[in-house]
Amino acid sequence: MFLPLHRWIWSDKQRSARKLFSFAETEADGGRDLVRAAELTDDPTLRRLYVRHALDEDRHAQLFRARGSALLRALPARAATPFQLNWVSPGERGLDDLHVHAETDASLLAFLHLSEKSAAGHFATYVDALKDDPATSAVFREILKDESFHMSYTLAQLTRVAPERRRLLLWKARLGRLWKTYLRLMSAIAGVMGSIILTLQYFVLLPPFAFIAKRAARHEPEGWTPVPPERSLKSQY
């Protein structure tokens, strides 16, 4: 349904390049968190999988960065920077707010599964939206294979480590993601409201003060004025 919107978002090369750089940061950051998760877990299978996952995310960061650089190099030097619109077409969202210390193996797997699933859905849409830019589309297609693997291994491991609590943990992770979406939306609305209120203050409150200051300035003598001896300073204290 949103394919035309995504097509429009990705049609601007400058925006695409900026988005790829910000996606690369999220991937690299997620990779670092997964290395930490591998250090923290007592489960050898999970440790191996987390390390492989971290290497994948690092590779994704390199792929996004390389494609972003190639897009920027092909642009004229003084192209304008449009909004990235990452709230409509995000990268691997979820990996950006991973708190591995606060999670158990099972809750981390549930969280990762949902994040990877949502990333796989978004990246599949971008593969279609980027039909006019086959090189960038190919990058997403390549990364999508790994995201699908991440999505399935996290669910399989969640089923292994917590078979009875699987559904509950997935629901908890879903609610957590919903809450974060709500917070993101509210902070975006607060940002817009803040800009509107400050603009109104500028045009409504400042003019009277400017008027009063100008009127007061008219009564002030111009230039340096001699100070009478009784008002001059005797000491700096």
Q: How far is the CB of 49 from Fe ion (least distance, A)?
A: 12
Residue 14 or 86 having the CB closest to Fe ion:
86
Q: How far is the CB of 197 from Fe ion (least distance, A)?
A: 39
- By CB under 5 A, which span of 25-33, 163-171, 183-191, 212-220 interacts with Fe ion? 25-33
- By CB under 5 A, which span of 5-13, 36-44, 68-76, 149-157 interacts with Fe ion? 149-157
Closest residue to bound Fe ion by CB: 60
150 makes contact with Fe ion (CB under 5 A): yes
93-122: contacts with Fe ion (CB under 5 A): 116
Distances (CA, A) of 224 to 16, 32, 215, 228: 59, 64, 19, 13
171-230: contacts with Fe ion (CB under 5 A): none
Instruction: Please state, in angstroms and rounded to a whole number, the distance separating the CA atoms of residues 32 and 214.
Output: 58
C-alpha 9: how far from its chain's center?
16
Q: How far is the CB of 201 from Fe ion (least distance, A)?
A: 43
Residue from 92, 114, 126, 158 touching Fe ion (CB under 5 A): that is 92
Residue 16 or 115 having the CB closest to Fe ion:
115
Residue 105 or 116 having the CB closest to Fe ion:
116
Length of the chain: 237
Q: How far is the CB of 95 from Fe ion (least distance, A)?
A: 7
Residue 55 or 70 having the CB closest to Fe ion:
55
Residue 33 or 105 having the CB closest to Fe ion:
33
Q: How far apart are the first and last CA of the chain?
A: 73
Residue 95 or 161 having the CB closest to Fe ion:
95
Residues of the shown chain interacting with Fe ion in the complex, contacts defined by CB under 5 A: 27, 57, 60, 92, 116, 147, 150
